[in-house]
Amino acid sequence: MADRPSKKKSSDDRPQLVGSAPPSGARLDASHKRLDREEYEVDLLKLQVELVKLQEWIKHAGLRVAVIFEGRDAAGKGGTIKRITEHLNPRVVRIAALGTPTERERTEWYFQRYVPHLPAAGEMVLFDRSWYNRAGVERVMGFCTEDEVWEFFRTCPEFERMQIRSGLILLKYWFSVADEEQEKRFQSRLKDPLKVWKLSPMDQESRLRWVEYSQAKDEMFAYTDTKDSPWWVVNADDKRRARLNMIHHLLSQIPYQDVTQKDLKLGERPPDKGYVRPPIDSQTFVPEVY
């Protein structure tokens, strides 16, 4: 087996920013009730307006931003990504959600398949799962060897430092959800025809391997929660609070200015210059069923 990298020192002295996620392990209690929908939607809209400003600043300043979303199945990663991108330009802010590696990709350097998806200047990429699959799903499900896992632990911190030294802004979020809450969401998906597709054989296996996933996550943090590239843990038991907290924290991590076109006006349209359009019945319309 390859030599195991030494574990890093504790980073408990890392400051907790205002609006950032609660400390790892924090759970909802009786005094911390779930957020009301109306209050949530008001706050979400305010944050989404700020995301538009951030998007325009990223484009204006030529920033390169990569945001990693990791966590257990049904922890709320996809829902948060959806709210972030809802009003943004997919040419500036795009999602990278890689599928199962091909036979060719399995023979490549592990990080190779992720490199083409990294952002260029003026882009932000949201990784819906990432290279951390190796330390999580692949390890727990036996899709890689332990030697490959330890090589990942040795290589990953330097791989991320290389990106950061090149000027890339890298943010890593772990969505933490309690066992009981995850089970409730799995059961809900079974009854919802719009969400049943989210239940895969992998999800069923993850239910049976809760402890193994916990051990894998804890060991992954021990080697990859570095001073250069820390993990930010999002308490995801309340989906609404999780989305707001994560977006608020994302905005706080990238200094930006409002460069949106506030004084933009629409001029008068020019005359048609006598152009005659073809008859409307020459076109094939979608049947008006509704």
In a domain, 15, yes or no: no
In a domain, 209, yes or no: yes
In a domain, 27, yes or no: no
Mean pLDDT of the chain: 88
Instruction: Read off the pLDDT of residues 238-247 as tens digits, 9 standing for 90 and up.
Output: 999 999 999 9
The pTM of the whole model exceeds 0.75: yes
Instruction: Read off the pLDDT of residues 203-217 as tens digits, 9 standing for 90 and up.
Output: 777 788 889 999 999
* Amino acid present at 244: L
In a domain, 186, yes or no: yes
Structure confidence at residue 6 (pLDDT)? 61
User: Distances in Å between the alpha carbon of 96 and those of 99, 184, 260, 272?
Assistant: 10, 28, 26, 44
In a domain, 150, yes or no: yes
- Which range has the worst mean pLDDT, 27-36, 104-113, 279-288? 27-36
Quote the domain boundaries for residue 220.
37-266
Q: How does residue 262 score in pLDDT terms, banded at 50, 70 and 90?
A: confident
Q: How does residue 24 score in pLDDT terms, banded at 50, 70 and 90?
A: very low
**CATH classification at residue 141:** 3.40.50.300
User: Distances in Å between the alpha carbon of 153 and those of 22, 50, 69, 179?
Assistant: 26, 36, 18, 26
In a domain, 275, yes or no: no
What's the domain count of the chain?
Answer: 1
* Cβ atoms of residues 149 and 135 within 8 Å: yes
